[in-house]
Structure 1
């Protein structure tokens, strides 16, 4: 049978307040075409279906529309919950979706055997079992009296993860002898690369799970949580498919992909690149370089490319900050949007606490005295300094003596 592994859809995700709804819709269109062309029979989605535990109505609508499109391809669908997902929300329509041959395991059930999903071929014969383990929360892994110290808690979590996968394997050995088993998981495995958009799980990712603890019983382990696609050093083929679309600027260079297995040939997957629907661009330099690079971007008639702009200068300069703000706020070019900007000075401006002797108290300082010291750090001529101080005097007067309307 042919199986497609994907994960980390993060429906409802916003990148710096910019909606990625269109990106996901285009991915689903491409995914449907890929399932058709490769004659995929089983789709595995390993967690983080949504970006928020309480997704918006628009995100939920997008989720159900995507499932219906995929269901129309006569493909069995198995989804598990991730650390971003609400188990209760995913599990609520479980019975209805099961009648559509869509299996959803939002949270770990009390009986772990309920995570075991038999998959039959077109002839009706049992082909393999999927151990669809969702994200395992601390309450799933530790007893109330375990983990008194921080290190104890970490070890309890690692042992808890291993015990759940081992329990699923033991049931399969007894109930489905000689039948291949695929495991799904949503966790942080040791020794892999992360990106900025992955929310910490299991005590800040310190409880990194050693992939060797998966053992060698499972034929393939389909993981989610890490957005950069990569193989895990385990005893059996174990892969993060990665997120299908970039979710942060740190992922802008990732080659997004899905993984396809053909069980008649091998348990090693084939990597299928997901097309780039929009680019995430990072531009850095001084003001002149930024201006030149921004206005010489090539034409784009697809989804708006999103830009992160970084002003890099040797010395802190309030005038350059103002000019940078004007450049980014007034930038207009079809097919592009600046969604993030910040400054990076080699010599940062001292904070007010560093401007005064340690024996001076905050209540002893006058606002204008503090401001004058800050202005004196700037590379300004006397006329500009006087203009700035005059403007400060006007603002201070309004604050201290407001006019009642």
Structure 2
């Protein structure tokens, strides 16, 4: 059984005002080529197929075209809902897409057995059973209790998520035994595990309740295909519990991470091999941090390193102690004739550390950090009051974010 594990496409994303449509189109074309080249049996998308709960029409069109292409290529497609995805949007076409060899699991609704899917080989035989687990919303596994301590809430959430995994895995084992199948069991997930590092484009999903899910709380599946973290990672060093990462860089801080999908090979004895397939770079992104005196040279070097026809998007930090009210105009003048476009520009004093709090813009902060800084500026609040207010804010934020998805 040959699977492709991918996640976090974020179709429809706008990046500092720029559309990623051409990158996503190129990636999906490349993905289809991998399916054909490697004779893939099934493709698993472990959440966040879309960037927002209301994706633009071109993003939906790309998604539906991929379904058709995968069907024509003879590969099964399984799409799991992520925290950015709307269960209603993903669910509206699931019955239609099922006729095209695509299974969509937008939410945790239904009995445990309903989340056990057969993954088919190209000849139609069952090659594996899938515990198809999407992003689990906190409200789906526990009730928020007034006055509940943070640690108790965390333990309840871990237990609730682990309980659903155990129940669905048990249903898969029961089905395997009932039908006398000699096949491996694969599970999915869309969450942050212990040891995973979030990038700036990754939204915290269990706000104020759970920072990371422990790897030992997963059931004993042969392979666990995870999404949500945009960098590839073996969870706890385990070969069989993996994040594949996003296929394109969704933030400038992801430029140091390889972009890939994972070719997963299994047989009746379990996991046999995991092979990363590097995704080409379809849109160059660059980060530059330079003193003002070296700015012209730094820009020229980046421009010279591009392939003909490429235009790089830049995050540019100019380090200088002088007051530079005309910095945007200076930068614009230096960019004349260069295949570069600055999407984020900031100045930092040489005496201040990189990303000093006073110099960070709102797009570099998550809502919790903004609220925490506002609390810190408020006189008359002791530590207990601040903690209580942060807990209330976390609940409101979680409600708003989950309501939008």
For this structure pair, what is the TM-score category when the shorter chain's length is used for normalisation? 0.7 to 0.9
- The partner residue of 1:249 within 240, 249, 252 is 252
**In the aligned structure 2, how far is the partner of 1:283 from the partner of 1:45?**
33
> 1:306-345 to 2 correspondence within 5 Å?
306-313=313-320, 315=321, 317-318=322-323, 320-322=324-326, 324-330=327-333, 331-345=335-349
The question of 1:14 aligning with 2:14 is answered yes
The alpha-carbon distance between structure 1 residues 51 and 122, as it changes in their structure 2 partners (threshold 3 A), is closer
What are the Cα deviations for residues 123-176 of structure 1, in whole angstroms up to 9, with x where unaligned? 443221111100000111103558822222211111111111101111112222
**In the aligned structure 2, how far is the partner of 1:84 from the partner of 1:147?**
29
**In the aligned structure 2, how far is the partner of 1:104 from the partner of 1:282?**
37
In the superposition, the TM-score normalised over structure 1's length comes to 0.80
> 1:272-311 to 2 correspondence within 5 Å?
272-296=277-301, 297-298=303-304, 299-311=306-318
The question of 1:188 aligning with 2:178 is answered no
**Preserved contact between residue 4 and residue 261 of structure 2 (Cα < 8 Å):** yes
Residue matched to 2:128: 128
What are the Cα deviations for residues 310-338 of structure 1, in whole angstroms up to 9, with x where unaligned? 0101x2x32x341x211233423453211
**In the aligned structure 2, how far is the partner of 1:104 from the partner of 1:222?**
15
Number of equivalent positions: 345
Residue matched to 1:78: 78
In the superposition, the TM-score normalised over structure 2's length comes to 0.80
Q: What secondary structure, in the 3-state scheme, does the structure 2 residue paired with 1:269 have?
A: strand
What are the Cα deviations for residues 162-201 of structure 1, in whole angstroms up to 9, with x where unaligned? 1111011111122222542100110000012221111111
**In the aligned structure 2, how far is the partner of 1:205 from the partner of 1:244?**
29
Gaps of 5+ in 1: 352-405
Highest RCO, 1 vs 2 (Cα 8 Å, sep ≥ 6): 2
Q: What secondary structure, in the 3-state scheme, does the structure 1 residue paired with 2:246 have?
A: coil
Gaps of 5+ in 2: 353-357, 359-405
**Preserved contact between residue 107 and residue 135 of structure 2 (Cα < 8 Å):** yes
Q: What secondary structure, in the 3-state scheme, does the structure 2 residue paired with 1:130 have?
A: strand
Deviation at 1:291, TM superposition (A): 1.5
**In the aligned structure 2, how far is the partner of 1:252 from the partner of 1:125?**
40
The alpha-carbon distance between structure 1 residues 14 and 266, as it changes in their structure 2 partners (threshold 3 A), is same
**Preserved contact between residue 280 and residue 306 of structure 1 (Cα < 8 Å):** yes
Of 56-65 and 127-136, deviating more is 56-65
**In the aligned structure 2, how far is the partner of 1:334 from the partner of 1:24?**
25
What are the Cα deviations for residues 16-69 of structure 1, in whole angstroms up to 9, with x where unaligned? 111111111111111111111111110000000011111122221222122222
